[in-house]
Amino acid sequence: MLIRVGCEVAFTYPRPAAVVLMLYLHPSRAPTIRKPERLESAPWLAVSEYTDCYGNHCGRVVVPAGRVVFRNDAIVDDCGLPDLQVPNAPQHDVQDLPYEVLLFLLASRYCEVDSELKDLCWSLFGGYPPGWQRVQAICNFVQQHIRFDYAQARVNRTALEAYRERTGVCRDYMHLAITFCRALNIPARYCTGYLGDIGVPAAPYPMDISAWFEAYLGGQWYAFDARNNTPRIGRVLMARGRDAADVALTTTFGVNQLQSFKIWTDEVSENAIVVAGR
């Protein structure tokens, strides 16, 4: 299966500013790219690329005052299968976890593991078998507990606030699920990327960047989605981190105003690669 993914975001800047960009595909997707991505800007700007501490492909640039548009587009090959399901994947004892995953047991900006959620999660999920079944129970609870509402979105809502307010968008679902997992000694990390309406009815609102999370079970990371809570086809990863603070699409060190934001992720034919290559 071929999937075309991309984004276009426009800002106005009252004065020059430094900007960090996370608009690229994750390096783990590199073997699947059929039409190479190409980050463009209008006006043209020199972008320096680097890899951050979580392994994400990033860019940095200094933008001038005025309107600036960033655009990226690629075609990737996907297996076309839903998210892998391994119901018997076990949970590790903390002392047996690899050093590199211990970070994803700790509290972070939006995931307050050391809050009242720590005691609550054991009362809610302590009766489930540790491992996959416990993570799935968390997803079931979070999906039912939070009501999806774009009108109620805000960038500073934490997991505890999402639990109390019972409303939010995909990032809020993931922050709460991640917090529950970590409080139960299950490493969990935040993921952001493209997820189109492939194999499911089209959503009645504009396409957006999606969030999901990964839990470390049985020696590897598995994708879970507390908002959709069903295996999906065509997740295309852009970035991973502790929570949404680590994977912002753009971070401006100065003042800016968002003008427009467009996302596309669609299944395409082989002919799309031929046309793109002309």
Q: Which tokens sit at 164?
A: 């109390």
Question: Domain with 71 in it: what CATH number?
Answer: 2.60.40.2250
Let me know whether 75 and 101 are in one domain: no
Residue 239 lies in a domain: no
Confidence of residue 272 (pLDDT cuts 50, 70, 90): confident
Confidence of residue 204 (pLDDT cuts 50, 70, 90): confident
Residue 86 lies in a domain: no
Alpha-helix residue ranges (DSSP H) falling in 157-258 = 159-165, 170-183
Q: How many domains does the chain contain in total?
A: 2
Let me know whether 218 and 112 are in one domain: yes
Let me know whether 225 and 273 are in one domain: no
State mean pLDDT over 250-269: 95
Let me know whether 220 and 255 are in one domain: no
- pLDDT beyond 90 at 271: no
Let me know whether 142 and 70 are in one domain: no
- pLDDT beyond 60 at 278: no
Let me know whether 135 and 159 are in one domain: yes
Q: What is the pLDDT of residues 53-112, one digit of tens each?
A: 999 999 999 999 999 999 999 999 999 999 999 999 999 999 999 999 999 999 999 999
Contact of 180 with 117, CB cutoff 8 Å: yes
State mean pLDDT over 28-56: 96
Confidence of residue 276 (pLDDT cuts 50, 70, 90): low
Let me know whether 226 and 135 are in one domain: yes
Residue 39 lies in a domain: yes
- pLDDT on residue 87: 97
Let me know whether 99 and 226 are in one domain: yes
Question: Domain with 123 in it: what CATH number?
Answer: 3.10.620.30
SS3 211: strand
Residue whose pair of structure tokens reads 């993931």 in the numeric block? 174
Let me know whether 192 and 265 are in one domain: no
- pLDDT beyond 70 at 277: no
Residue 88 lies in a domain: no
CA distances from 242 to 53, 94, 98, 209 (A): 11, 18, 16, 17
- Residue 128's CB: how many other CB atoms inside 10 A? 16
Residue 242 lies in a domain: no
Confidence of residue 274 (pLDDT cuts 50, 70, 90): low
Q: Which domain holds residue 257?
A: 2-79+248-277
> Which residues, other chains included, contact 61 with Cβ-Cβ below 8 Å and sequence gap of 6+?
18, 19, 21, 41, 45, 46, 47, 48
- pLDDT on residue 275: 59
The mean pLDDT value of the chain amounts to: 94
